[in-house]
Amino acid sequence: LTRRVTVEETDDELSRLAQTFNHMIERLQRAFERQKRFVSDASHELRTPIAVIQGYTDLIGRWGKNDPAVLREAVESVKSETEGMQALVERLLFLARSSDGNMQLRLECFNLRIVLREVADETRFVFGRSVDIRIPGTIMLTADRALVKQMLRALTDNAVKYTPEEGSVSIEACQSPDGVSLTVRDTGIGIPPEDLPHVFDRFYRVDKARSRAQGGSGLGLAIVHGIVEAHHGTIKMASVPGHGTSVHIVFPQ
Ligand code: ADP
């Protein structure tokens, strides 16, 4: 009798051990899949700056020799895009390594209007679409300038991607009692209510086929969320399918 009990106990222990190993392997497999996905999605994020650089180098090839002003402007833009891309790669690596809320900020005080203009100009250049800028007077924001621009570009890129040509996209900024508030609004396809709580998750895409066709990676909003969180800000998304989406961000100042 004693022996049988011992054997049963051993069997039990073995099966528990096997179960633990199975769980560990499953978790490792999931982590490995996430890692693989992350690398390919990060590559997608780099497409926009590469497209801008391609555009400007074409411009240099076509007009640069004849027009020194075009050459100067194009070279400057390529330089700033390259810097932006470098910053983006660093941020992506940072996001990959750091857990949320662990991002390091390079804080500076800057004129928000200039950043909004840059984002609108780049959107016109890359997508051929205009963005309506609404900002009353001068608003100075103390934040990480490169990250704020990266955030606005991700939101504007989404707004343009998910809004038909005849629709509109705007960025509004204002000084509110809580800080500086920014709203990116579009009149696009919108997001179904059941998907809305998940859109900030890494790699989440509402319509995978459409998102991929648009060059989407499902990483943009996860990065946006991380940037807002690192600034101790708040972000809210509201959407009505078929009518449009608005993303409202407040940076405490
Ligand atoms: P993606 O790179 O695929 O656009 P994001 O993380 O930026 O990924 O967004 C996640 C998903 O949320 C998108 O795939 C898209 O389905 C949805 N989405 C984001 N912004 C908008 C928007 N302005 N209008 C409609 N859907 C949006």
> What are residue 176's DSSP bridge partners?
179
- Residue of the CA atom closest to atom 7 of ligand 1: 220
Q: Which amino acid is at 147?
A: L
Percentage with pLDDT > 70 across the chain: 85
Q: Which amino acid is at 167?
A: G
User: Of 65 and 177, which is predicted with more confidence?
Assistant: 177
**Ligand 1 centre distance from Cα of residue 154 (Å):** 9
- Residue of the CA atom closest to atom 21 of ligand 1: 158
**Ligand 1 centre distance from Cα of residue 218 (Å):** 7
Q: Which residues line ligand 1 (CB under 6 A)?
A: 154, 158-159, 162, 186, 188-191, 199, 204-207, 211, 216-222, 245
For the whole model, what pTM was predicted? Answer: 0.69
DSSP assignment of the chain, as one string? -HHHHHHHHHHHHHHHHHHHHHHHHHHHHHHHHHHHHHHHHHHHHTHHHHHHHHHHHHHIIIIITT-HHHHHHHHHHHHHHHHHHHHHHHHHHHHHHSPTT-----EEEEEHHHHHHHHHHHHHHHHS---EEE--S--EEEEEHHHHHHHHHHHHHHHHHTS-TTS-EEEEEEEETTEEEEEEEE-SS---TTTGGGTTSTT--SSHHHHHHTT--S-HHHHHHHHHHHTT-EEEEEEETTTEEEEEEEE--
Q: Is there a contact between 79 and 150 (Cβ–Cβ < 8 Å)?
A: no
Q: What is the pLDDT of residue 87?
A: 65
What are 77-115's pLDDT values in tens digits?
Answer: 899 888 878 766 766 776 676 555 567 889 999 999 999
User: Of 144 and 211, which is predicted with more confidence?
Assistant: 144
**Ligand 1 centre distance from Cα of residue 10 (Å):** 52
**Ligand 1 centre distance from Cα of residue 183 (Å):** 16
